């Protein structure tokens, strides 16, 4: 693709005001909101291609949320005790065993698990749903708007992907018809779209599925950081989420749900810790959850996830929800004022949204816009297809989009900086040149130090999720 939007690079500052502080200067942007848990990284300063430094605006919470400060502090406290669990008589091992099992209870309580539900620690939501896919004794139905984590695992067995209708009400009607027409063991749905933030009425979906004899699995990766999810109250049978989206980026996720399928399923990972006994000719497998947690578990990740749940539980329904509603409204109003910006929606009648919003900018590739926002304004958001290719093909055929996602550390200033930067782009243009580099748009040249931690730059391009720059 030939892009004629680039301008010869200059040394003038970007239109949005920036300071020339050194990278060591810090500003605590959450100090005026003590009712919300503090987030790490809000004081991070990053270089611009113009040679200046600015406070980083993180609008990519939906991809990976930064650690809560108390989560990071909790992990620091745990580290001296770090040891293998369930297999040692040493004091540190016993402490970590208790820590892991208490984390299991804490996470279960956070999602309203029933007394007989199982909490299995996994790597992330994708891992959890792949585990569940091997446990389902029958056909699976999902919608075509799902993240790949809730779309691809079911393809290993009998499955159907129903096209979501143009309204929520019609989609619910179509689900009821599809479930009545074909025997289905499991309906797998997203709690909140990772592309548009739109939320389906979970209790109504559960009622429809249960009436047809199907269980419900909820991909809560995006929903859980914004809304309390209660398995017992909603009737949801299985739930998966990721710590890295729940302000606990230490490599843990969970699958929570009914025991019978999970006890009957083959072990997710055959190995130590998943067995009761092993002989030369056979294996007696343990019951869930240990049946599916072969190998040494990620005790630090589990501890971090539990601490995040403890911190979030008191604020999700109150202060956090109000904070995010206000900023989402500010963002929507701001984007509506910028010429050529179109916000993407699945359902015009959707009654609820989390603070995730995707949009396109007329005649400008999403990757180009994202590179400009980062290089000239210190703003980080997501561009591409968001691991939801079928949905993106529906919303912007043949193209990519941009996604801004809001979290506990987001401020009104962050939202205003994004809106101002986009307005500058569409009215004045970029002040630097950009071109595809290894499949992604990048400033050319890029004078920024891209290895501030001193570990060395990679030798080749990394994996993506369908992002293109050509």
DSSP letters spanning 7-40: ----SSPPSS------TT----TTTT-TTSPPBT
Domain range 71-312, CATH class = alpha beta
CB contact burial 185-196 (16+ within 10 A = b; e otherwise): bbbbbbbbbbbb
Looking at the chain, the number of H-run helices and the number of E-run strands are: 12, 19
Q: State the pLDDT at residue 30.
A: 47
Q: State the pLDDT at residue 23.
A: 46
89 CB neighbour count, 10 Å cutoff? 6
> Mean pLDDT per segment of 10 residues, for the chain of length 470 residues?
43 42 44 78 97 98 98 98 91 97 98 98 98 98 98 97 97 98 97 97 98 98 97 98 97 98 96 93 95 95 98 96 97 98 95 95 97 98 97 94 98 98 98 95 96 89 59
Domain boundaries defined on the chain: 1-62+316-470, 71-312
What are the residues facing 441 on neighbouring strands? 436
Q: State the pLDDT at residue 41.
A: 96
Parallel, antiparallel or unpaired: strands 159-162 and 283-285: unpaired
Contact 43, 28 (CB under 8 A): yes
What are the residues facing 284 on neighbouring strands? 277
CA distances from 121 to 30, 34, 205, 261, 288 (A): 31, 31, 26, 16, 11
What are the residues facing 283 on neighbouring strands? 278
Distance CA 280, CA 348 (A): 61
**pTM listed for this prediction:** 0.92
Catalytic residue IDs: 387
Give ∠ CA 465-381-332 in degrees, rounded to 5: 120
Q: State the pLDDT at residue 16.
A: 43
State both tokens at 85. 């669990």
Rounded to the nearest 10°, the torsion over CA 365, 370, 371, 376 is 120
CA distances from 440 to 1, 257, 393 (A): 12, 40, 19
Q: State the pLDDT at residue 24.
A: 42
**Nearest of 215, 200, 194 to residue 149 by alpha carbon:** 194
49 CB neighbour count, 10 Å cutoff? 24
Fold of 1-62+316-470: 3.90.1150
State both tokens at 112. 């309203």
Task: Please give the backbone phi and psi of residue 421, each rounded to the nearest 5 degrees, phi first.
Answer: -65, -40
Task: Please give the backbone phi and psi of residue 155, each rounded to the nearest 5 degrees, phi first.
Answer: -70, -10
DSSP for residue 350: -
């Amino acid at each position: 693709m030939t892009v004629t939007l680039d301008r010869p690079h200059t040394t003038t500052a970007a239109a949005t005001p920036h300071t020339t502080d050194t990278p060591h200067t810090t500003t605590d942007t959450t100090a005026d909101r003590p009712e919300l848990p503090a987030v790490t990284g809000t004081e991070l300063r990053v270089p611009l291609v113009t040679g200046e430094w600015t406070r980083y605006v993180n609008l990519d919470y939906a991809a990976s949320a930064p650690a809560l400060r108390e989560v990071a502090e909790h992990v620091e406290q745990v580290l001296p005790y770090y040891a293998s669990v369930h297999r040692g008589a040493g004091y540190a091992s016993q402490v970590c065993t208790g820590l892991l099992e208490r984390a299991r209870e804490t996470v279960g309580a956070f999602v309203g698990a029933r007394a007989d539900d199982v909490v299995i620690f996994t790597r992330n939501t994708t891992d959890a749903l792949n585990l569940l896919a091997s446990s389902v004794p029958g056909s699976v139905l999902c919608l075509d708007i799902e993240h790949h984590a809730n779309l691809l695992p079911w393809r290993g067995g009998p499955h159907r992907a129903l096209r979501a209708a143009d309204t929520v009400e019609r989609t619910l009607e179509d689900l009821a018809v599809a479930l009545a027409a074909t025997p289905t063991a499991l309906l797998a749905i997203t709690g909140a779209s990772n592309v548009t933030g739109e939320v389906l009425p979970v209790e109504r979906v559960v009622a429809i599925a249960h009436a047809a004899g199907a269980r419900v699995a909820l991909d809560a990766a995006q929903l859980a950081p914004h809304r309390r999810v209660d398995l017992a109250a909603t009737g949801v049978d299985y739930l998966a989420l990721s710590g890295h989206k729940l302000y606990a980026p230490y490599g843990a996720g969970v699958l929570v749900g009914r025991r019978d399928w999970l006890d009957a399923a083959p072990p997710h990972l055959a190995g130590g810790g998943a067995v009761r006994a092993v002989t030369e000719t056979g294996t007696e497998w343990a019951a869930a959850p240990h049946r599916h947690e072969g190998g040494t578990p990620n005790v630090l990740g589990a501890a971090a996830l539990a601490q995040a749940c403890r911190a979030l539980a008191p604020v999700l329904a109150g202060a956090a929800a109000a904070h995010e509603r206000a900023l989402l409204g500010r963002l929507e109003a701001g984007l509506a004022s910028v010429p050529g910006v179109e916000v993407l929606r699945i359902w015009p009648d959707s009654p609820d949204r989390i603070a995730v919003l995707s949009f396109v900018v007329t005649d400008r590739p999403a990757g180009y816009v994202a590179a400009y926002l980062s290089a000239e304004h210190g703003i980080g958001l997501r561009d591409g297809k968001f691991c939801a290719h079928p949905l993106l093909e529906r919303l912007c055929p043949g193209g990519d989009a941009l996604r801004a996602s809001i979290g506990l550390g987001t401020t009104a200033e962050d939202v205003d900086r994004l809106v101002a930067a986009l307005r500058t782009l569409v009215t004045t243009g970029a002040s630097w040149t950009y071109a595809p580099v290894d499949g992604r748009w990048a400033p050319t040249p890029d004078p920024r130090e891209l290895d501030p931690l001193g570990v060395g730059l990679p030798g080749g391009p990394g994996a993506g999720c369908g992002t293109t720059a050509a």
